[in-house]
Amino acid sequence: MIPPAFEYHVPRSVADAIKLMGELGPDAKLLAGGHSLLPMMKLRFAQPGHLIDLGKIAELRGIAQAGNQVQIGAMTTEHDLLGSALLAEKVPLLVEGAGWIADPQVRYKGTIGGDISHGDPGNDHPALMLALDASFVLKGPKGERVVKADGFFLGLYSTLLEPDEILTQIRVPIPAAGTGWSYQKLKRKTGDFATAATAVLLQMSGANVAKVHIALTNAAATPLRAQAAEAHLVGKPINEASLNEAARLAMSICDPTPDQRGDADYKRAMCGEMTRRALQAAHSRAGKQ
């Protein structure tokens, strides 16, 4: 119930935050929304000696269009995403996904950057980022680099983010007009991680699929792009046969961890089912080209 003692730091800029991280080393953790880290600290599963609060760094917030992409500050909350008219119009998948995360109070504090950089395969944004083919801006003492979401997630709680770097911005290419989208999430109750969830972006050309991205949440130690399922669908219509095969191919790459949500068979089957439903929903939203 009570976290162990630690010291608290509030940098006012990203540069100051990076400097602090360098000074304090691995015993320091970044505090974003706090709704993953603080619960772990209260149960004493995490015991950092220092917290660096990113909450007062203005440059880490904001949602803006820059050319063909939307740039989202890493400290943007789920609530901010849900209320963004820009995202609702240009990247509705992200709005739909954010609405499935946790509950209203947690959404007021939880951040997209925290959700991504934790490396927890149960979080929702990683798969959304893969589906959107997003990129992340990582800043460290040596400067800034931009990496693609695809390849960022290495394993359980393991990402490309170095210990001395901060994820500062998420860059989302704006999907073409007429792109259908859906995030289908199966969970036991409000606030639970996904038993299985699938993010889909879908572009049709006439009756056939022109382009499709399928990304899976909580199906393995990292989020997964179901590339074989995507390849199968391109050039085909969305019908029972193609959906069945796409689901089967998505299931074939799953390696889910059995837990109270279900055994591997169930989770795999639900991955297939969420994939199917996400494809169907995205299809119904896709414009005709």
Partner 1 sequence: MANTHKVSFKLNGKAVDVAVEPRELLIHTLREKLAHTGPHIGCETSHCGACTVDVDGMSVKACTVLTVQCDGSEMLTVEGLEQGGVLHALQQAFHEEHGLQCGYCTPGMLTRAYRLLKENPNPSEQEIRYGISGNLCRCTGYQNIVKAVQSAARKLAAAPAAA
Partner 2 sequence: MGDQSELQQREDKLQGMGTSLLRKEDAKFIRGQGSYIDDIKLPGMLFGAIVRSPYAHARIKKIDKTKALACPGVVAVLTADDLKPVNLHWMPTVGADVQAVLADKKVHFQLQEVAMVLATDRYAAYDGVALVEVDYEELPAIVDPKQSMAKDAPIIREDIADKKEVGHGPRTHPNHIFTWEAGDKAAADAAFANAAVTVRQEILNPRVHPCPLETCGCVASFNKATGYLTLHVTTQIPHLLRTVLAMLSGVAESKIRVIGGDIGGGFGNKVPVYPGYVVATVASIVTGLPIKWIESRIDNISTTGFARDYHGVGELAADKDGRIKGLRFTALADHGAFNSHVSASKLPAGLFSICTGSYAIPNAYCRVDAVYTNKAPGGVAYRCSLRVTEAVYLIERMIDVLAQKLGLDKAEIRRRNFVKAEQFPYTTSLGWTLDSGAYHPALDKVLKAVDYDGLRKEQAAKRADPKSGTLMGIGLATFTEIVGAGPTKVCDILGIGLFDSCEIRVHPTGGVIARLGTMSQGQGHATTYAQIIATELGLPASDIVVEEGDTDKSPYGAGTWGSRSTPVSGAATAQAARKIKDKAKKIAAHLLEVAEGDLEWEIDRFKVKGNPSQAKTMKEICMVSHTGNLPAGMEQGLNAVSYYDPPNLTFPFGAYLCVVDIDKYTGETKVRRFYALDDCGTRINPMIIEGQIHGGLTEAFAVAFGQQIPFDENGNHLGNSLMDYFLPTALETPHWETDHTVTPCPHHPLGAKGVAESPHVGGIPCFSNAVIDAFAHLGVTHMEMPHSAYRVWQQCNALGINKR
Q: Which residues bind partner 1 (CB under 8 A)?
A: 1-8, 31, 34-35, 38-39, 41-43, 51, 53, 55, 79, 102-106, 108-109, 190-191
Q: Which does 273 bind (CB under 5 to 8 A by kind): partner 2, partner 1, none?
A: partner 2
- Give whichever of 36 and 135 is closer to partner 1, judged by the CB atom: 36
Separation CA 138–CA 153 (nearest Å): 14
Q: How far is the CB of 186 from partner 1 (least distance, A)?
A: 16
Q: How far is the CB of 43 from partner 1 (least distance, A)?
A: 7
Q: Which does 19 bind (CB under 5 to 8 A by kind): partner 2, partner 1, none?
A: none
Q: Which does 265 bind (CB under 5 to 8 A by kind): partner 1, partner 2, none?
A: partner 2
Separation CA 279–CA 233 (nearest Å): 10
Q: How far is the CB of 53 from partner 1 (least distance, A)?
A: 6
Q: How far is the CB of 147 from partner 1 (least distance, A)?
A: 29
Cα dihedral across residues 98, 103, 109, 114: positive or negative: negative
Separation CA 31–CA 55 (nearest Å): 8
Strand partners, 146: 137
Separation CA 68–CA 243 (nearest Å): 31
Separation CA 63–CA 71 (nearest Å): 6
The amino acid that residue 92 corresponds to is P
Q: Which does 44 bind (CB under 5 to 8 A by kind): partner 2, partner 1, none?
A: partner 2
Residue 279 · residue 200 · CB < 8 Å: yes
Candidates 107, 125, 92, 110; CA nearest to 31 is 110
Q: How far is the CB of 23 from partner 2 (least distance, A)?
A: 26
What are the residues binding partner 2 (CB under 8 A)?
Answer: 1-2, 4-5, 44, 103, 186, 188-192, 195, 240, 243-244, 247, 260-263, 265-266, 269-270, 273, 276
Candidates 265, 220, 261, 252; CA nearest to 121 is 220
Q: Which does 125 bind (CB under 5 to 8 A by kind): partner 2, partner 1, none?
A: none
